[in-house]
Amino acid sequence: MHTSLVIKGKGVSREIKSRVIQSPLAGVTDRIFRKFIRRWAPHSLLFAEMINATSLNLGYGIEKINQINNEEGPIGIQLFDNRPNSVADAAKESESSGAYIIDINMGCPVKKIANKGGGSALLRDPCLAVELVKKISRAVNIPVSVKTRIGWSEKDKNIKEFLLRLQDAGANMFTIHGRTREQGFNGKADWSFIGELKVELDVPVIANGDIYNVNDAIECLNITKADGIMIGRGVLGAPWIIGEIDFALKGLENFKKPTTEEKLQLLIEHIDELIFEKGEHGLLMARKYIAWTCNDFDGAQNLRKNLVRAKNPQEAKDEILLMIHKLKNKS
């Protein structure tokens, strides 16, 4: 089984020494979270949060792309918009800031994205989608990829022709989520259909959807014969999962998964980073990470409640340290 991924760009090709990619997740995959993922996945392609191209050209979100130049390992930028010139300009800006690859989102099912003509709305406007890919691939030298879904609905799955047109327009790789836009995140991802599409394409195909652990990853690759996999919601509360899967796909053994105490220590570190970057508001932002971390151990529910009620960061950290102490005593 090959362990790297080669993506050919117009002027620059990329070889990634990992077949496991981290999906861009709004409000999650910021610089801090990527730093934690990178501890276990030094070679994987990670993505910043999805960025609106027009907003970026107006100066909003510029810090998201400026940060990547100081990070270790390959970092990609995913853009969404329905204005070809805006996306091309944003792609050039991202390339100059150190983006390893540019990805165009054509699969996000969220209404506020699709209603503005971006994300999955492009599935219903193939001519615009082609124009977007053409403009971006001409604007940058690095590879251009597209993340999309297997169709708009079960009755409207003309995705094969859609992908072939985008490939001809200059797309260098596709990430395909195995659900339709209509499904959202309901039902089960159709890995078999991704496999059917893989056969029809000349560029690398990345499979996405319902991959939460090593067994899922292996089964997905066996079914799809994809060149790699992308992990989205599987990283929530588990920033080590990218590295764990990569470890297994490379035939390595004895991956050191963090203990409950280590997970809680990581949560303290995450709170500290958020407070440093966002001030007191960082504790509020930490609540989702608290919810994802505080489960599957004795006292998890009470700890979660106490942390949500914490009046300040120190009170929250004291509660976590107390739980770490209790868990160590039990063991």
List, by residue number, the catalytic residues.
108
Residue pointed to by tokens 């590295």: 243
Token pair listed for 64: 């998201």
Distance (Å, whole) CA 198 – CA 26: 27
Close Cβ partners of 102 (under 8 Å, ≥ 6 residues apart): 76, 77, 78, 79, 91, 94, 95, 136, 140, 142, 143, 144, 145
Token pair listed for 119: 């994300």
Distance (Å, whole) CA 139 – CA 90: 10
Q: Cβ distance 105 to 133 under 8 Å?
A: no
Token pair listed for 252: 């390595």
Distance (Å, whole) CA 97 – CA 112: 28
DSSP state at residue 244: H
Distance (Å, whole) CA 282 – CA 272: 8
Token pair listed for 179: 């659900």
Question: Crossing angle of helices 191-200/214-224, nearest 10°?
Answer: 40
Q: Is 295 helix (H, G, I), strand (E, B) or coil?
A: coil
Alpha helices by DSSP H, the chain: 31-40, 53-57, 62-66, 84-96, 111-114, 126-139, 159-169, 191-200, 214-224, 241-249, 260-278, 281-285, 287-293, 300-309, 313-330
